[in-house]
Amino acid sequence: MQISSKDLRPYLLVAPQTLTFLFALVLPIMAIVIISFWDFNGFTSVPGFTFNNYLGIFSSPVYLKTYLNTFKFAFLVWLVCVLISYPVAYYLAFRIKSSKWQTIWFLICTVPFLTSNIIRMISWIPFLGREGLINKALIGLHLTNQPVEMFLFSDFSVVLAMVHLYALFMVAPIFNSMMRIDRALISAAEDLGASSFNIQKRIIMPLAAPGVAIGTIFVVTLVMGEFATMRLMSGGKASSVGYLIKNQIDSLQYPMAAANAVVLLAITLLIVFGILRIVDIRKQI
């Protein structure tokens, strides 16, 4: 049977995407999984098949503490991002009536994100340091007699920097969901005497939930793999799985780093699948 070019056209159209997906995602993940079962003799990686790397992860209190610390930062950053992004998105979607000004203000929100992540992190140091503007203001107002140590190289500075880095990933999908809400629903609720609180609770929040879910996926996955912010803003006092993997790679412990990467990927995928089970985001895509 002769195959015509017309029959091959659908396959040719999907070939670039399929090859990109295969070589940029599937094969690298397969390589990481394979290396995670190798052994490390103290000097080099030895090909083989062993569960020692995974047993070491699940039996070590240090690894357990590191994973819990990562979950803590992921939750705190997500919570602060939601508390900041939801009111911002609501104001842009419902309080600004002109689509022109909605676009302008949304672009203004994106301006800080056009700079490098490192620059945005470093920009907080003059504010948070012992001789920073915040401590000088507190001392000048006689609220404290000495610089406050908690602002820089602490969990506070890590969460602050990550919120600064990833808040837009929460604002954008929530704003998109709110812009899809039919204004007639809100007008009908107001005509029926519904209060602003009930409109928010029964109409806007449920319909904006897919945007919150998409933003949650973005923020949580980004924070779970973060290591540069953790190193710079904590001063080495805090750790995360991403930072742990980076250190293991630097010390050539590739099998253990690969095992941690596989465990982190599995946990992240479980979180994403859990979110997708709770909230249907297909209408937002």
- Total residue length of the chain: 285
Is the model more confident about 274 or about 12? 274
What confidence tier does 114 reach under pLDDT thresholds 50, 70, 90? confident
- 148 has pLDDT over 90: no
How far is the C-alpha of 233 from the C-alpha of 228, rounded, in Å?
8
Tell me the pLDDT tens digit for each residue of 226-271. 888 888 888 878 888 988 899 888 888 899 999 999 999 999 999 9
Residues 48-66 as b/e (b if ≥16 CB within 10 A, e otherwise) read: eeeeebbeebeeeeebeeb
Write down the mean pLDDT value for the chain.
86
Q: What are the DSSP calls for 144-195, one per residue?
A: -SS--GGGSSSHHHHHHHHHHHHTHHHHHHHHHHHHTS-HHHHHHHHHTT--
How far is the C-alpha of 55 from the C-alpha of 70, rounded, in Å?
20
- 157 has pLDDT over 80: yes
pLDDT of residue 116: 79
Q: Give domain limits for the chain.
A: 61-284
pLDDT of residue 6: 63
What confidence tier does 282 reach under pLDDT thresholds 50, 70, 90? low
CATH class, 61-284 region: mainly alpha
Owner of token pair 């604002």: 171
- 84 has pLDDT over 90: yes
Extended beta strands in the chain, E state:
39-40, 45-46
Which residue, 114, 93, 49, is CA-closest to 255?
49
Q: What is the pTM of this model?
A: 0.86
Give the mean model confidence (pLDDT) for residues 155-170. Answer: 90
